Amino acid sequence: MNTRTLASRKARQSLAFGIIRLAMLMVVGALGGIILLLVVQGIGAINWTFLTDVPRDSMTKGGIFPAIVGTIYLTLGALLTALPLGLASAVYLSEYATQGRLLGLVRLGIQNLAGVPSVVFGLFGLALFVVHFHMGVSLAAGSLTLGLLILPTVIGASEEALRAVPAMFREASLSLGATRWQTIRKVVLPAAMPGILTGSILGIGRAAGETAPIMFTAATFYTLQLPSSPWQEVMALPYHIYVLATAGTHIDQTRPLQFGTVLVLITLVLGMSLTAILIRSRLRKSKKW
């Protein structure tokens, strides 16, 4: 029988907490380090011209305005694609479907969809949208591909939000002679909508930063004009970074612009996440059930 003294038990506790703290510091430190590096290296490149002008002199001068606009369009397009589809799937899964083998298969499919590498989505988009549906390399094809990429996230967020709606609301609605559809449309969806939206916006940050899905489907290396229809190709921040850093003819000369572009992209993504988190915390405060 080994009786441990209080001192030794406390020492073990300190050790365990120390390791946990260290792990936490490494995570936060990695994020902090990346952001610090980007700000230090990239802030010099950022000025009004950089944000509002088109690229000039083989990308070594000028700005990234078309890429910013292209990324915003692609992100919105992905949201417009994934939200209706994901919402409908989530409603089916959490409100209509009866437990069973089929439902298990569907869930398994969705989980696997989330694990598919993004480059596979890119090739799939190329085969289906660009080639088969003759969309060409275009904003539409890229939006649809990105939409499919974030579909599992949107379904997950929506299902979670739907499940958070108390069963007593459904019971009350049904007891008043509502059909299941009326109950979903008038009670469940309005109550779940804030959660669905914020969850989806958080998920879409991922789409904004993806390169692989858009490189075959939507992105172009260089265009001076902003897209005027969904059938045009666009510049996009992640692809722009990729090109500047690997494929350009003046890689060293564009280095400051690369950091500047990354800084803009990460600010955009963090800004989106932050907005979603703020909306969510505000809505949580106003909820009383």
Sites of contact with other proteins (CB under 8 A): 98-99, 166, 168-169, 171-179, 182, 186-187, 190-191, 287-289
* Residue appearing with tokens 């430190």: 29
Torsional class of 3: left (φ above 0), alpha (ψ -120 to 50), beta (otherwise): beta
Q: At closest approach, how far in Å is the CB of 278 from other proteins?
A: 21
Q: At closest approach, how far in Å is the CB of 160 from other proteins?
A: 18
Contacts of 172 (CB under 8 A, 6+ apart): 187
Q: At closest approach, how far in Å is the CB of 164 from other proteins?
A: 12
**Cβ proximity to other proteins, 191 vs 264, nearer residue:** 191
**Cβ proximity to other proteins, 12 vs 287, nearer residue:** 287
**Cβ proximity to other proteins, 52 vs 179, nearer residue:** 179
Q: At closest approach, how far in Å is the CB of 84 from other proteins?
A: 24
Measure the CA–CA gap between 26 and 41, rounded to whole angstroms.
22
Strand (E) or helix (H) holding 151:
helix 139-163
Q: At closest approach, how far in Å is the CB of 137 from other proteins?
A: 46
**Cβ proximity to other proteins, 33 vs 166, nearer residue:** 166
**Cβ proximity to other proteins, 16 vs 172, nearer residue:** 172
Integer CA distances (angstroms), 210 to 49, 78, 137, 147, 214, in order: 25, 12, 16, 12, 7
56 phi and psi angles, rounded to 5 deg: -135, 165
**Cβ proximity to other proteins, 100 vs 115, nearer residue:** 100
Residue 69, classified by CB atoms within 10 Å of its CB into exposed (0-12), middle (13-18) or buried (19+), is: middle
Answer yes or no: are the C-beta atoms of 171 and 235 closer than 8 Å. Answer: no
Q: At closest approach, how far in Å is the CB of 282 from other proteins?
A: 15
